[in-house]
């Protein structure tokens, strides 16, 4: 083995590592970018409503219990951000 052989082996290994990194980034990019996109355009959203009495200072008491319920809705949107906006608008 001479010095050139070692550099050649290192170059081949470096190229393999760079290709592996490139492929991993491509796969992760697809996974991450498609993670929050519905393939059919429908999203499930939910929001919580709390019943409070009007004109009372007790509404801000963290120890007080309130009647609350959760509403779950189905919205059609192009992406997660649009779906979120529609759920907020509905709530």
Same domain? For 6 and 21 the reply is yes
- Look at 77 and 16; give whichever has higher pLDDT: 77
What pLDDT was estimated at residue 53? 79
Please, which pLDDT band fits residue 33 given cuts at 50, 70 and 90?
Answer: low
Same domain? For 24 and 44 the reply is no
pTM: 0.52
CA dihedral defined by 34, 35, 41, 43, rounded to 10 degrees? -170
Distance CA 13, CA 19 (A): 10
Summarised one tens digit per residue, pLDDT across range 65-76 is 878 888 898 999
- Which sign, positive or negative, has the C-alpha torsion 61, 63, 67, 70? positive
Same domain? For 20 and 47 the reply is no
**Does residue 30 have a pLDDT over 80?**
no
- Look at 1 and 23; give whichever has higher pLDDT: 23
What pLDDT was estimated at residue 27? 62
**Does residue 3 have a pLDDT over 90?**
no
Q: How many CA atoms lie within 13 A of 86 on its CB side?
A: 17
Q: Which range of residues forms the domain containing residue 3?
A: 1-35
């Amino acid at each position: 083995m001479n010095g050139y052989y070692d550099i050649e082996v290192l170059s081949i290994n470096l190229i393999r590592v760079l290709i592996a990194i490139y492929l991993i980034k491509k796969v992760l990019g697809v996974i991450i970018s498609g993670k929050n996109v519905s393939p059919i355009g429908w999203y499930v959203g939910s929001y919580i409503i709390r019943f409070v009495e009007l004109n009372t200072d007790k509404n801000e008491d963290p120890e007080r219990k309130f009647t609350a319920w959760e509403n779950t809705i189905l919205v059609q949107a192009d992406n997660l951000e649009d779906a979120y906006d529609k759920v907020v608008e509905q709530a």
